[in-house]
A and B are shown apart, each in its own frame.
Chain A
Amino acid sequence: GRGCLDYREVIIETGVISQANGSARCRLGEGTDVLVGVKVEIGSIEIDGADEEVAAIKAKRGRVVCNVECSPIASQQFAGRGADDFNNELTQTVDRVLNGPHGGLDLEKLCILPGEECWVVYIDALVLDYAGNILDTIFMTIRAALFNTRVPKTTVSEDKEVEISGDDEEWERIEGWEQVPVSITLNKIGSRHVVDATPLEELTTEAKLHVMVSKSGKVCGIQKSGGGSIEHSLLNEMIQTGRSLGQNLIINLDKILHKEEELMVRNSRVGKLGFFAAT
C-alpha cells in the first residue's frame, strides 16, 4: 500500500554493543535489519608505495576500514560461501564512499602522531535479516553508529609515547559524522521507479540505481547494478529524485538520533526495540 517513493518505517537504536566504541542497529519495517559496530584502535600510518604528494597527505590522516558481512541468519542464500561475492560488492561500495573525498569523516582529526600513529576506525556492518533494500539500510546504520561513536582523548608525551585517557567522560564524538552520506536505491520496474523495494519487488527490478547523497544535497556517488539498462532521461529523473529523498532522509534520521540521545542524557528509560527488547 505504499507510494512509489515511500520508505518503510525506520527504527534506529544506538549504543547496543557495549564493547564497541559506537554501535547502532536499524530496522526497516518488519524486515531488513543491520547492526553496525565501530571500533577505534591505534594503528600505524601506512604510506609505503605512495608517491611523495600522496604520502605527505596520508601522513597526517587517520584511516577508515569498512567491512560488510551478510550473516547466514539473514537469508538462506548466505550460507557457506554464498555470501562472499555479495559481501565483497557491498564492502567495496561502502569503502569507496567512506574513504572517498566526500566520505564525511574528518580524517585529519584522527591523526595522533603525524607520520607514525593514527586512529583507525573499523566499521563493521552485519546484516541480520534480509528483506530488501540492503545498501540503504547499511548506510543509515553506519551514519547512526558514527553518531554514537566516541573516540578516546590522547596525550602524546615528549618521548613520543601515546597515552589514552581512561576517563570516559573525556571521549569525544567523531568529527564529521553529519557529512557521511546516505544512499537511496531506486529500482526501475517497467517504466517507473520505486524506492525501498521488498524482496518481491527486487525480483522484478530490471536495474537499480544507488545514489549517495550528503547532507548538503551533493551527490557523492552513483552506482548502477542489475542486468537491465536505464534510459538517459529516466536516469536524470532518478538522480534528482534520489537527491531530494536523500536530503529528507538525512533530516529525519538526524531528528531520531538527536531525540534518542536527549532521552539517554536525561536518563529516562529508553525502551529497547526489536529483539533487543527481550522480556
Chain B
Amino acid sequence: MSRQELIGPQGLRQDGRRANELRKIKCKPSVLSQADGSSYIEQGNTKCLAAVYGPREARQKGQVIHNKASINVELSLAPFSMSERKKRTKYDKRLLEIASAVKQTFEPVIMTSLFARSQIDIYLQILQFDGGIIQICINAATLALIDAGIPMLEYVCACSAGIIENTILLDLNNTEESFDTPELTVALLPKSEKVTLLQLDSRLQVNEFENVMRTAAKGCKEIYEVLEDATRDHIKDLLNRSNPIN
C-alpha cells in the first residue's frame, strides 16, 4: 500500500474518517476491584486498561524523595495485542521509554508535594494495539488518577497528529503511523493550555509544525470533553447509588 492510498479520493481515510476526525472513544473509570483507581479506554481499535495504586509507602528506599511523592509507571503489552504474536517483557526498551515519557508528563501535574516520601504507581496494560500508544496511555492514566482521588492540577489529555501529502491528519492509527509519517504527539492541560509532553517521530517541515500542533491541541480538547463526561457520569452514578431516595 502506498502513502497515497491512505487518503482516498473523497478525502476519506482507510477507516472512513475525515482528516480531522478523532477515532471513536469509549471510556469508563473504576473498572477494577483491587486498585485504588482504575480506568478502561478504547480509542478506535486500541484498548488500554490503567490501574493506580497510591499514595502508599515507597517500596525501595532509593526511590524516596523527602519532600514529594515519587511516581512509578509500568507499561505492558499483551502478547495477543498486535497482529503478530510477540511476547514482550516489561523491560523492553520501547516500553520503558514510553513509560518514562508518561511519568514525565504527570510529574508536574500531580500535586506530589502533598505526599512526601510516598509512592504513586501507575500500571498500564495494552490489550489491543492499533496505533496511538502514548496518547492512550496518558488518557487512561488521567482517568485512573482521578478515580483514585489523587489531586492533580488539571486533566492531561493527549492526542497525535500527522501530515501526509500536505493533509493534516488527526489521531493516526497503526497503518498510518507505519509509513514514516511524521507524527506529533501532544499532551495538553486543556484549561491552561500548557503542554506537558511533545514528541515527534520522523521529519516535519518547520513551517508546517504550527498547523500540526494546533490540530493536535484541538484534538486534545475534544478528548478532554469525552474524559470529563465519563468522569461526571461515573460520579453521578455513585451518588445515585448511595442516595436511593433521591
Question: CB-nearest residue of chain A relative to B45?
Answer: A18
Partner of B49, one of A41, A128, A130, A131: A128
Chain B residues 29-43 with CB under 8 Å of chain A are 31-35, 38, 40-42
The minimal Cβ–Cβ distance linking B123 to chain A, given in whole angstroms, is 4
User: By the criterion CB–CB under 8 Å, are B34 and A129 in contact?
Assistant: yes
Q: Does B177 contact A (CB under 8 A)?
A: no
Q: Does A17 contact B (CB under 8 A)?
A: yes
Q: Which residues of chain A come closer than 8 Å to B231, judged between CB atoms?
A: none
The minimal Cβ–Cβ distance linking A260 to chain B, given in whole angstroms, is 20
Question: CB-nearest residue of chain B relative to A78?
Answer: B123
User: By the criterion CB–CB under 8 Å, are B74 and A79 in contact?
Assistant: yes
CB within 8 Å for A72 and B76 given contacts A19-B81, A275-B40, A278-B28: yes
Question: CB-nearest residue of chain A relative to B130?
Answer: A19
- How far does the alpha carbon of A35 sit from the alpha carbon of B40 in the complex, in Å? 14
Chain A residues 114-161 with CB under 8 Å of chain B are 122, 124, 126, 128-131
Q: Which residues of chain B come closer than 8 Å to A30, judged between CB atoms?
A: 33
User: By the criterion CB–CB under 8 Å, are A67 and B31 in contact?
Assistant: no
Number of contact residues on B: which range applies? 35 or more
CB within 8 Å for A73 and B82 given contacts A17-B127, A79-B74, A128-B49: no
User: Which of A30, A37, A39, A71 has the most CB atoms of chain B within a 10 A radius of its CB?
Assistant: A71
User: Which of A31, A38, A276, A279 has the most CB atoms of chain B within a 10 A radius of its CB?
Assistant: A279
Q: Does B50 contact A (CB under 8 A)?
A: yes
Q: Which residues of chain B come closer than 8 Å to A69, judged between CB atoms?
A: 76, 78-79
Mark contacts of B80-106 with chain A using CB atoms, 8 A cut-off: 1 yes-contact digit, 0 otherwise: 111111010010000000000000000
User: By the criterion CB–CB under 8 Å, are A279 and B26 in contact?
Assistant: yes
Q: Does A80 contact B (CB under 8 A)?
A: yes
Partner of A124, one of B27, B45, B85: B85
User: By the criterion CB–CB under 8 Å, are B79 and A122 in contact?
Assistant: yes
User: By the criterion CB–CB under 8 Å, are B79 and A76 in contact?
Assistant: no
Partner of A39, one of B49, B53, B85: B85
Q: Does A205 contact B (CB under 8 A)?
A: no
User: By the criterion CB–CB under 8 Å, are B82 and A19 in contact?
Assistant: yes
Question: CB-nearest residue of chain B relative to A73?
Answer: B51
User: By the criterion CB–CB under 8 Å, are A72 and B85 in contact?
Assistant: no
User: By the criterion CB–CB under 8 Å, are B80 and A73 in contact?
Assistant: no
- How far does the alpha carbon of A19 sit from the alpha carbon of B129 in the complex, in Å? 9
Mark contacts of A266-278 with chain B using CB atoms, 8 A cut-off: 1 yes-contact digit, 0 otherwise: 0000000011111
Q: Does A23 contact B (CB under 8 A)?
A: yes
Q: Does B128 contact A (CB under 8 A)?
A: yes
Q: Does B20 contact A (CB under 8 A)?
A: no
Q: Does B6 contact A (CB under 8 A)?
A: no
User: By the criterion CB–CB under 8 Å, are A73 and B32 in contact?
Assistant: yes
User: By the criterion CB–CB under 8 Å, are B26 and A20 in contact?
Assistant: no
User: Which of B27, B74, B124 has the most CB atoms of chain A within a 10 A radius of its CB?
Assistant: B74
Chain A residues 245-279 with CB under 8 Å of chain B are 274-279
The minimal Cβ–Cβ distance linking A15 to chain B, given in whole angstroms, is 12
User: By the criterion CB–CB under 8 Å, are B34 and A130 in contact?
Assistant: yes
Q: Which residues of chain B come closer than 8 Å to A275, judged between CB atoms?
A: 28, 31-32, 40, 49
Q: Does A74 contact B (CB under 8 A)?
A: yes
Partner of B74, one of A41, A72, A75: A72
User: By the criterion CB–CB under 8 Å, are A67 and B87 in contact?
Assistant: yes
Partner of B33, one of A19, A31, A39: A31
Partner of B125, one of A37, A128, A131, A279: A128
Mark contacts of B39-75 with chain A using CB atoms, 8 A cut-off: 1 yes-contact digit, 0 otherwise: 0111001000111010010000000000000001010
- How far does the alpha carbon of A201 sit from the alpha carbon of B83 in the complex, in Å? 40
User: By the criterion CB–CB under 8 Å, are B123 and A72 in contact?
Assistant: yes
Q: What would 13 more interface pairs be, CB under 8 Å, given A35-B127, A38-B80, A73-B50?
A: A19-B81, A37-B79, A41-B84, A72-B74, A73-B32, A73-B124, A122-B80, A128-B32, A274-B31, A275-B31, A278-B41, A278-B42, A279-B230
Q: What are 28 A-B pairs with beta-carbon distances under 8 A?
A: A19-B80, A19-B83, A33-B32, A35-B78, A38-B80, A39-B79, A41-B84, A67-B79, A69-B76, A71-B76, A72-B76, A72-B121, A72-B123, A73-B38, A73-B123, A74-B32, A75-B34, A76-B34, A79-B74, A80-B90, A126-B125, A128-B32, A128-B49, A275-B28, A278-B40, A278-B41, A279-B26, A279-B27
B residues lining the A interface (CB < 8 Å): 26-28, 31-35, 38, 40-42, 45, 49-51, 53, 56, 72, 74, 76, 78-85, 87, 90, 121, 123-125, 127-129, 230
A residues lining the B interface (CB < 8 Å): 17-20, 23, 30-31, 33, 35, 37-39, 41, 67, 69, 71-76, 79-80, 122, 124, 126, 128-131, 274-279
